[in-house]
Amino acid sequence: SLYFILSLWAGLVGTGFSVLIRLELSAPGSVLGDFQLYNLIVTTHGLVMIFFLVMPMMMGGFGNWLVPMMLSLPDMGFPRLNNVSFWVLPVSMGLLFCSAFSEGGFGGGWTLYPPLSSIMGHSGPAMDFLILSLHIGGASSIMASINFYSTWGNMRAGCHQFYRVPLFCTSIGVTSFLLILAMPVLAGALTMLLTDRNFNTS
């Protein structure tokens, strides 16, 4: 339920950003009066919608509600890990908004590609806050995915052979496996970007 509350709130924030984007595009010239602000809104809208609406709601919310029920279980495999994986998400979102309010924010697009995300494109701490935010969000995804994958793979009731497991649970298990593979790659790329910005690596 906490996942749903957080993701609904993030969805309202992202929708507000979307309204501002549409407002800017509704007339020729600049309505907001600041092109960096527009780029910041587009970037924050994309990150909020993907990392704080879609992923927590689809995996965290529906997964935590439906997977134990469909597999005839009292709870997920690791309830405390589940708790930690939720409570680091508001911290991650807070860092995202710290990024938006520090020195004009980061306006390089939600894909974070250099050169806009390099020290030449955004020299202030906004990008570093954003990298830290996505690191913490990725750690949350990894913890939740380990929990889902363990629950799906090892905690089925005796009546649930693999071929009798509901397709939703299988989709959560496969998605968890893919997230466990993909999130460390994202973390590695973010770490390389962080060292490129702060320690002059290449």
Q: 100 — phi, psi (to 5°)? A: -65, -30
Give yes or no for residue 37 having a pLDDT over 70: yes
| Cis status, amide bond into 90, omega within 30 of 0 | no
Q: State the pLDDT at residue 26.
A: 94
Percentages (nearest 5) of helix, strand, coil residues in the chain: 70, 0, 30
Average pLDDT of every residue of the chain: 93
Whole-number Å distance between alpha carbons of 108 and 123: 12
d(CA 14, CA 19): 9
Per the model's pLDDT, the better-predicted residue between 123 and 84 turns out to be: 84
Mean pLDDT of 102-106: 90
**What's the average model confidence in pLDDT over 102-121?**
90
pTM: 0.91
Arithmetic mean of pLDDT, 99-114 = 90
Burial class (CB in 10 A: 0-12, 13-18, 19+), 75: exposed
How far apart, in whole angstroms, are the C-alpha atoms of residue 196 and residue 117? 10
Span 127-145, pLDDT tens digits? 999 999 999 999 999 999 9
pLDDT in tens, 151-199: 998 887 766 677 888 899 999 999 999 999 999 999 999 999 999 999 9
* pLDDT attached to residue 107: 92
